């Protein structure tokens, strides 16, 4: 359970990659290089990285519309990811999916999802499949606080529980379903309280504390792998940016956003690493700079990549 110093340094690197990717994504959008929309996870890096760190490389994840962080944490190739983001043929989905559908099936990422709660029922099927095939793999399903109030959440958690499926449900409670605050949307203090209703353990952790996320999700993964069934982990966190590119932030105050920025999960993990493994400030900045450089290289790759061939427009509709 205890992470080696190398692994911890790598997790810091992943968080910086996510931050750098998201900032670049925002920047590319501003330059008009990206069309459509995107949902940025700046401020939520510890939730993605801490949760996926608890998995084995061949385990599955199901991601959400705010999924760039999950994808990077699962080990995606940044070049192919950026190429997909820019709609290029070399992207993970050959430019067909874009930000909301980036999937790395071979790498165990069964896809971001444009539909809130869209991935939760699929996680049941993936868990069922693992159990029937006896693969020993676990499926980790990310979703947000908004999804926890939609029907699929209820059906899926119940089914996973009654069939003791190897699924870990990770609710990233970033406080808002678009503009609707979790404080209004739930009549219970913690979303993880719902786990009891399906007969599975539920735990709420500080989602900006990578170690706390890692520990809680590790317990859930262990349980799943042991055949004891699913768990629900709630990572309480905050997205610094708006819901999507069309969010004017009318529903929250500047003070609130600034207060959460003070709780920056990356700075927090760096402070902890300085204590735990004596990570020096120059070392930390080197990690940060390497991350930004890697993202620039990915953009260069994507920029140089070809557009999809129009002649192949209908490929992939049917197998």
What is the closest distance, in whole angstroms, from the C-beta atom of residue 186 to other proteins in the complex?
21
Nearer to other proteins, 39 or 94 (CB): 94
By the 10 Å C-beta count (0-12 exposed, 13-18 middle, 19+ buried), 315 is classed as: exposed
Q: Around Cβ 58, how many Cβ atoms within 10 Å?
A: 11
Helix (H) or strand (E) holding 206: strand 202-206
Task: Write out the two tokens for 265.
Answer: 């999960």
**Contact stretch for other proteins (CB under 8 A) within 186-194, 236-244, 298-306, 311-319:** 311-319
With a CB cutoff of 8 Å and minimum separation 6, the contacts of 21 are 68, 72, 78, 81, 82, 295, 298
Told to check if 300 binds other proteins by CB under 8 A, we report: no
The correct pick among 111, 144, 207, 242 for binding other proteins (CB under 8 A) is 111
The correct pick among 44, 120, 205, 279 for binding other proteins (CB under 8 A) is 120
User: How far is 70 from 2, CA to CA, in rounded Å?
Assistant: 21
User: How far is 100 from 291, CA to CA, in rounded Å?
Assistant: 23
The DSSP 8-state label assigned to residue 102 in this structure reads -
The correct pick among 4, 133, 183, 278 for binding other proteins (CB under 8 A) is 133
Task: Write out the two tokens for 302.
Answer: 């994507």
x/- site string to other proteins, residues 145 to 164, per CB under 8 A? ------xx--xx-xx--xx-
Told to check if 225 binds other proteins by CB under 8 A, we report: no
**Contact stretch for other proteins (CB under 8 A) within 5-13, 18-26, 105-113, 293-301:** 105-113
What is the closest distance, in whole angstroms, from the C-beta atom of residue 317 to other proteins in the complex?
5
User: Taking a C-beta distance cutoff of 8 angstroms, is the pair 109, 141 a contact?
Assistant: no
CA-based end-to-end distance of the chain: 41
Told to check if 197 binds other proteins by CB under 8 A, we report: no
**Contact stretch for other proteins (CB under 8 A) within 66-74, 123-131, 171-179, 226-234:** 123-131
User: How far is 57 from 162, CA to CA, in rounded Å?
Assistant: 27
- How do strand 167-173 and strand 176-177 relate by DSSP bridges? unpaired
What is the closest distance, in whole angstroms, from the C-beta atom of residue 182 to other proteins in the complex?
23
Nearer to other proteins, 119 or 242 (CB): 119
The correct pick among 21, 60, 169, 301 for binding other proteins (CB under 8 A) is 60
CA-CA distances (angstroms) from residue 69 to 47, 227, 256, 311?
9, 28, 23, 33
Told to check if 144 binds other proteins by CB under 8 A, we report: no
Nearer to other proteins, 150 or 175 (CB): 150
Nearer to other proteins, 156 or 236 (CB): 156
What is the closest distance, in whole angstroms, from the C-beta atom of residue 267 to other proteins in the complex?
35
With a CB cutoff of 8 Å and minimum separation 6, the contacts of 107 are 57, 74, 75, 76
Nearer to other proteins, 44 or 123 (CB): 123
Per the listing, tokens 């939760």 go with 120
Task: Write out the two tokens for 255.
Answer: 């003070």
The correct pick among 43, 91, 207, 265 for binding other proteins (CB under 8 A) is 91
Per the listing, tokens 């940044």 go with 78
Nearer to other proteins, 149 or 208 (CB): 149
Binding site for other proteins (CB under 8 A): 60, 84, 91-97, 101, 103, 105-106, 110-111, 113-115, 118, 120-130, 132-133, 139, 151-152, 155-156, 158-159, 162-163, 315-319
């Amino acid at each position: 359970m205890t992470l080696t110093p190398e692994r911890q340094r790598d997790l810091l690197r992943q968080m910086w990659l996510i931050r750098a990717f998201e900032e670049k994504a925002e920047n590319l959008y501003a330059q008009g290089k990206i069309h459509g929309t995107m949902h940025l996870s700046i401020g939520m890096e510890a939730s993605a990285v801490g949760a996926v760190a608890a998995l084995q490389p061949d385990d599955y994840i199901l991601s959400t519309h705010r999924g760039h962080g999950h994808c990077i944490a699962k080990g995606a190739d940044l070049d192919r990811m950026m190429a997909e983001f820019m709609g290029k043929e070399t992207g993970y989905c050959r430019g067909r999916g874009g930000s909301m559908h980036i999937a790395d099936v071979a790498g165990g990422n069964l896809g971001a999802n444009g539909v809130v709660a869209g991935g939760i029922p699929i996680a049941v099927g993936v868990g069922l499949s693992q159990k029937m095939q006896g693969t020993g793999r676990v499926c980790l399903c990310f979703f947000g606080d908004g999804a926890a109030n939609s029907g699929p959440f209820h059906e899926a958690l119940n089914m996973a529980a009654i069939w003791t499926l190897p699924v870990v449900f990770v609710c990233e409670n970033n406080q808002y379903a678009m503009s609707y605050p979790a404080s209004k949307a739930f009549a219970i203090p913690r979303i993880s309280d719902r786990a009891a209703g399906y007969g599975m353990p539920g735990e709420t952790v500080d989602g900006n504390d990578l170690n706390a996320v890692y520990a809680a999700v590790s317990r859930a993964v262990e349980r799943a792998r042991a055949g004891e069934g699913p768990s629900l982990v709630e990572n309480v966190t905050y997205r610094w940016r708006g819901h999507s590119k069309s969010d004017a932030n009318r529903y929250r105050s500047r003070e609130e956003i600034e207060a959460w920025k003070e709780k920056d999960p990356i700075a927090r993990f760096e402070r902890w690493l300085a204590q735990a493994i004596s990570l020096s400030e120059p070392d930390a900045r080197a990690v940060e700079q390497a991350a930004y450089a890697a993202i620039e290289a990915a953009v260069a790759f994507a920029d140089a990549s070809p557009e999809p061939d129009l002649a192949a427009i209908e490929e992939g509709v049917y197998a």
